[in-house]
Amino acid sequence: MARPAVLVTGGAARIGAAIARAFADDGWHVVIHYLGSDDEAEALARTLPSAETVQCDLADADAAIRMLEDLSHRLEDWRVLVNSASVFEPDDVTLLDVTTNRQAMQVNAVTPALMAQVFLSRSRSAAGCTVIQVTDQKLENPNPDFFSYTMSKHALDATIPMLAMGAAGERDRVYGLAPGAILPSHDQTPEEAERSHRLNPLQRRTGAEEVAQAALFLAQGALRNGETLFVDSGQHLLHQPRDVIYLAREQS
């Protein structure tokens, strides 16, 4: 295959789909991972110049490892892994929900860390490997809402410098990509999203395409290993007492 390859987890919808399209437009072969969005994944793949789909439940770490081992055998120039899939379920800061926490930690932190390890050790690309772990602006601007989700993103963030120091080769890179409020999430209406997504210093909505272009930039390896890039119109510079979903509702 003449094209370099990228695997985008959660690549069938939302930010993952925007990332998949950006890499495809730049000449990459895109592997679109999905869990239940098979129709969306296949429809997206048909619109891209070079793409394939792969199904895997990231809650099953062994299945995720098998997926990466299969890709490493098949793709000679697999250069980039973008871990953008995540679960985003509410639980309370005063009462951690164990089931929600276990799922969030596994899907959002443990499996992406394992996948990064397998990718860095098995990829055959002579150009080197780049891992992009999609985190969240909540790393710098935490609030008590979505307790387990936020915990899991902090855990994922902690793996980035460690992987960069100990698992990455000379040509490899491990980066974090931290979006802010981008698309309607949880139970938001479009009107609520329009209000909440402007609660940042620039008072503008950050687009999914901006996050996608940031991922493409990181794939070039231009930043120091272990860095995190925030794409959030400055939201991480604030100290918001609640998630913007609820801040917007309180204001309205």
Model confidence pLDDT, tens digit, residues 76-119: 999 999 999 999 999 999 999 999 999 999 999 999 999 999 99
First to last CA, the chain: 53
pTM exceeding the 0.75 threshold for the entire prediction: yes
Q: How many CA atoms lie within 13 A of 151 on its CB side?
A: 19
Question: What's the rounded mean pLDDT across residues 14-29?
Answer: 98
Average pLDDT, the chain: 96
Q: Could you give the CA distance from residue 196 to residue 108 in angstroms, rounded to a whole number?
A: 24
pLDDT tens-place string over residues 40-81: 999 999 999 999 999 999 999 999 999 999 999 999 999 999
- Residue range 5-185+207-238 forms a domain whose CATH class is alpha beta
